[in-house]
Structure 1
Amino acid sequence: MTRAATDRVFKGLALRLFAIACLSTMSALVKLAETRGATLGETMFHRQFWAALLVTGWIASGPGLESVRTARFAAHAGRAATGLVGMVFTFGAVLLLPLAEATALQFTVPIFATLLGALVLKEKTGWHRWGAVIVGFVGVLIVAQPGSGHFPLYGAIVGLMAALFVAIIAVLLRQIGRTESAATTVFWFSWLSVPPLALVYLFQLKAHDPATWGILLGIGMVGGLGQLALTGSLRFATVSAVVPMDYSSLIWGTLYGWLIFGVLPTPYTWIGAPIIIASGLYIVYREHKLHHAHSPVSAAETPA
């Protein structure tokens, strides 16, 4: 790998780490806002409204707003609707569970992506990845400890539903991405989700102290920055290279949980989370290996 290529990969990794730090901070702010009286509808509206302004400014100062013209409005509307449902589950998990546990359950996204690929997209899935899926769900059982009562079972279900919707959205983005740029997709998701959230917000609007308004503003700005950094990371490095950086969110979830809410992960989480992480990394590794094996370049490099 050349020096320039190496520098690009490091930029991608740095952007991904920054994005995860931002999104983890956003989750902590969502939970903090709820303790100060903000509702789920309020936090979701502020997340999307301020992020939409930030994304619009970024596009306007770069490629220009002309670049977000699309002939696939229906596809963007479907992605926005799915994204809103997924956001309900994602924010709901943050509110119902300790931050570290909510984060650990998000690591099941590669597991659900494998299931969707096999069952919905009819992708060929070998025993390696099915084995990783089974191992990953064992890790989930260790974290959740159903029947133990160490955190609400419905909270674990909400957390798993959040991961499922992230995987569904990944499939939608793969389809939309054949014709649309990442910036275009982010722009339309941001703005198409604002009107329905504004309608919900009208019924939940209430007064807050300045600190709480600042937290709500922070949710949108930090979330928007994280979204832009996620998009940017893939300009410099491949998905298989940057995905391992996502697991740094467990560090942030643990740190914020301890510093802000005085809660540390349970021993079960310390055991189960690494199992889920290992499962996800192995699935990513297998997908990368199979993709490399089937690419024209690698085929030419492979001895007969």
Structure 2
Amino acid sequence: MTTAADRILPAIAYRLVSVLAFATMGALIKLAEVRGAGLAELLFFRQAGSLPVIVGWVALGPGLATLRTQRIGAHALRCVVGLSSMTLMFATLLLLPLAEATTLQFTVPIFATILGAVVLREATGRHRWSAVLLGFAGVLVVAQPGSGHIPLLGAATGLGAAFLSASVSILIRRMGSSEPPATIVFYFALLSMVPLVPAFLWTFTAHDAGTWAMLVAIGMVGAVGQLAMTTALSLAPVSVVVPMDYSGLLWATLYGWALFGVLPGAATWAGAPIIVASGLYIVWREQRLARGIARSAPAVSD
């Protein structure tokens, strides 16, 4: 018999794998950029390189028949928002050190709370709004506006990427009732080719074999991370797996030090725990309310 623990432990393992994969992808992006790869190339290979991995995953698992869809319009919208988020995220990785870029991504739960209240009309009371304010205070500590510690453009692209990533979460939540996770991932990569192929051809640049290998690896590693993340969510609640994401700061710090000789500044060490605490509290609060609803308790705003 399968117990809850039998599902939770693999879910945590999958999520940790996804965090490592995305951190590795970020390091490869910066290495490829140093060797002359541009933003359009990075985006193209991230999506094109992931398609064979996704198709292989589906073929060996639920079967290619599951890729049929009646909601191509929803997939197109998810692609537009998701590709915009990815573009800003990649730009942030090029503009900022790995640790700082990763820290700004931790604001996704904060933006998800705001969007949940505004778009989905979810009851959001003083506890979660207080967590949102605390999280943005942490962002101010990290960014130190006006000090030059972090370029304003890098901070803007990082927060924009997090906001759009939270928007993607809302879209996927709505699509999840009819579309399997692997199908959503597949159409995101496939539809991304429409704008990315012309952009890649327009900006094509010759590279050495090592750089081409990095570009291909970005797509493959990114696909592994996305599929592992999706699998984790299918095995355990969000509140169980999302806290694992914060281990990404450790990998980003390690890669930044080992590959680029850069360590996070004092402001990042001071602000990151504030942002992490805000995100963890939001996740914990949502789980607590969900349990209360499951027990048929009167609906309350937090």
TM-score interval for Structure 1 and Structure 2 normalised by the shorter chain? over 0.9
Shift of 1:31: 0.9
User: In the alignment, which residue of structure 1 is the partner of 2:64?
Assistant: 65
Matching of residues 55-134 of structure 1 within 5 Å? 55-134=54-133
User: In the alignment, which residue of structure 2 is the partner of 1:6?
Assistant: 5
User: In the alignment, which residue of structure 2 is the partner of 1:281?
Assistant: 280
User: In the alignment, which residue of structure 2 is the partner of 1:142?
Assistant: 141
- Which shifted more, 186-195 or 262-271? 186-195
User: In the alignment, which residue of structure 2 is the partner of 1:208?
Assistant: 207
Distance in 1 between the 2:180 and 2:83 partners?
20
| 1:78-133, Cα deviation, whole Å (9 max, x unpaired) | 10111111111010111101100000000000110111111222211110000000
Instruction: Give the TM-score taking structure 2 as reference length.
Output: 0.96
| 1:257-293, Cα deviation, whole Å (9 max, x unpaired) | 1111111000010010000000000000111111110
User: In the alignment, which residue of structure 1 is the partner of 2:232?
Assistant: 233
User: In the alignment, which residue of structure 2 is the partner of 1:223?
Assistant: 222
Shift of 1:166: 0.5
Unmatched tracts of structure 1, length 5 or more: none
Letter in 1 for 2:37: A
Letter in 2 for 1:49: A
Give the RMSD, CA atoms, in angstroms. 1.3
User: In the alignment, which residue of structure 2 is the partner of 1:157?
Assistant: 156
Distance in 2 between the 1:97 and 1:287 partners?
32
Distance in 2 between the 1:189 and 1:254 partners?
29
Letter in 2 for 1:178: S
Matching of residues 20-35 of structure 1 within 5 Å? 20-35=19-34
User: In the alignment, which residue of structure 2 is the partner of 1:49?
Assistant: 48
Distance in 2 between the 1:62 and 1:222 partners?
19
Shift of 1:299: 4.7
- Which shifted more, 278-287 or 60-69? 60-69
Distance in 1 between the 2:92 and 2:24 partners?
15
Letter in 2 for 1:127: R
Distance in 1 between the 2:297 and 2:7 partners?
25
Change (3 A) 1:269 1:63: same
Distance in 1 between the 2:2 and 2:83 partners?
41
Shift of 1:151: 2.1
Distance in 1 between the 2:165 and 2:264 partners?
23
Distance in 2 between the 1:180 and 1:250 partners?
32
Distance in 2 between the 1:103 and 1:258 partners?
14
Distance in 2 between the 1:298 and 1:140 partners?
37
Letter in 1 for 2:26: S
| 1:125-152, Cα deviation, whole Å (9 max, x unpaired) | 1100000001100000000001111220
Letter in 1 for 2:206: A
Letter in 2 for 1:207: A
Q: Which runs of 4+ in 1 moved over 6 A?
A: none
| 1:202-245, Cα deviation, whole Å (9 max, x unpaired) | 11111101110111011011001111101111222111100000
Shift of 1:7: 2.1
Letter in 1 for 2:131: A
Distance in 1 between the 2:183 and 2:215 partners?
25
User: In the alignment, which residue of structure 1 is the partner of 2:292?
Assistant: 293
Shift of 1:4: 3.0
| 1:45-80, Cα deviation, whole Å (9 max, x unpaired) | 000001011101111122111111111110001101
Distance in 1 between the 2:8 and 2:90 partners?
31
Shift of 1:190: 1.2
Give percent identity, aligned residues only. Answer: 56
Distance in 2 between the 1:266 and 1:10 partners?
34
Instruction: Give the TM-score taking structure 1 as reference length.
Output: 0.96
Shift of 1:195: 2.5
Letter in 2 for 1:75: A
User: In the alignment, which residue of structure 1 is the partner of 2:173?
Assistant: 174
SS at match of 2:49: helix
User: In the alignment, which residue of structure 2 is the partner of 1:190?
Assistant: 189
Query: What is the aligned residue count?
Result: 298
